A = this chain, B = another copy of it.
Amino acid sequence: MEFTSAPSIVVWNEGVHEARNEPATIGEMYPQGIHGAIAASLAGYFPGSEVSTATLADPGHGLTEERLARTDVLLWWGHIAHAEVADEVVDRVHHHVLGGMGLVVLHSGHFSKILTRLLGTTCSLKWRNDGERELVWTVKPSHPIAAGVESPIIIPEQEMYGELFDIPEPDDLIFISSFEGGEVFRSGVTFSRGRGRIFYFSPGDQEYPVYHHPQIQRVLANGVDWVAQPARDRSMPRVENPARDWFSG
């Protein structure tokens, strides 16, 4: 299944697990890094798109004003280096999301500076790394992000993420996961902030090959398509002081 839309896509990954080779299996699982695996999958879904990657180690973390200005969708994976992301880069990304750039935040990115700034809450949660089976159930089948997705998606081994997930009430609750230990998690949720759209999706980790799962790849592609607004002029909402009847010309 391929999309006819062609949003410009950047997959950002802190890339620290890969650089340190921690866990030792990461190089085998993701030879091009987590970002490389995600980008390769998206390139297949969006044959007309430019799909590129960026990491923490790149100058300006690879997220210069020029690059963001021509990006329709930014995906974000981070885990152990959230604090190392420069505030001025977070400012830029925040500005572009409010202006209409789509944002897809993945897994441990729940604690990223950009997501906590956009949402205003702690984004804390329960977790346990015990290789549990995760089942991802669709609860909003009319949403495009659920199109063509099996319910449940079965992920044989995963880190558990559990409620209470401290987020604002999402615009759309699309997926709820359960884990062998009995916990549940709102694993696929959307938000609108300013003129931009945000999709958070929790499955995915540095220890499990989740981003190779065809159903997970489909969800990410659906998410990219849904948050993308290529035609938008990227102007941020701003205060205005109009005269009476300004609109009647």
Contacts and interface: CB of A to CB of B under 8 A. Distances in A.
Secondary structure at chain A's binding surface: helix, strand, loop or mixed? loop
Given A239-B125, A247-B152, A229 B164 contact: no
Nearest to A244: B181
How many copies altogether? 4
Given A135-B247, A184-B177, A231-B147, A168 B192 contact: yes
A172 B117 CA distance: 22
A61 interface: no
Interface in A191-249: 191-197, 229, 231, 236-245, 247-248
Interface of A: 4, 98, 100, 117-122, 124-128, 130, 132-133, 135, 137-143, 147-148, 151-152, 154, 162-166, 168-169, 171-173, 176-178, 180-184, 186, 191-197, 229, 231, 236-245, 247-248
Given A173-B173, A178-B184, 14 more contacts: A121-B193, A121-B194, A122-B238, A124-B239, A128-B244, A135-B247, A137-B183, A151-B164, A152-B182, A162-B242, A168-B191, A176-B184, A176-B186, A182-B247
26 contacts: A4-B4, A98-B121, A118-B120, A120-B193, A122-B237, A125-B240, A126-B239, A126-B242, A127-B240, A127-B241, A128-B241, A137-B164, A141-B237, A142-B192, A147-B231, A148-B231, A151-B163, A151-B164, A152-B182, A152-B247, A162-B242, A173-B173, A178-B183, A178-B184, A182-B245, A184-B184
